[in-house]
A = this chain, B = another copy of it.
Amino acid sequence: MDAKKLALFEARAKIIKALAHPTRLYIVDELAKGERCVCELREGVGADISTVSKHLLVLKNAGLVEDDKRGLQVFYRLRCPCILSFFGCIEDVLRENACHHRALVGK
């Protein structure tokens, strides 16, 4: 693998890694409906607010969300809503896996 390809795959992996956590997928799903402030997200996530804040930082560092402080609150929104189209395939894989699993169990 040459250096250029390696760099490409590293860049892609960085973004994919940012999505690779249930809490962050929840956040993305929530932001798909519109911008949300940290405290709204915290409610849905049900974890410490510092934890949520750090998840948001991960998404922000990957360029997936942007934020906007208004008063006391910080609002986050998706930067590239195309991210959503992304999950169609994941669902296909999940369906395939379920199907395969049923086949193995012999039912």
Contact = CB atoms under 8 A, between A and B. Distances in A.
A53 to B, nearest CB: 17
A52 to B, nearest CB: 12
B90 A16 contact: yes
State the number of copies, please: 2
B83 A93 contact: yes
A1 B26 contact: yes
Interface in A18-60: 19-26, 29, 44-46
Contact of A89 (B9, B44, B85, B91): B85
A4 to B, nearest CB: 12
7 contacts: A1-B46, A15-B94, A80-B89, A80-B96, A82-B88, A83-B93, A86-B86
A91 to B, nearest CB: 8
Contacts of A80: 89, 92-93, 96
Contacts of A93: 15, 62-64, 79-80, 82-83
A90 B96 CA distance: 23
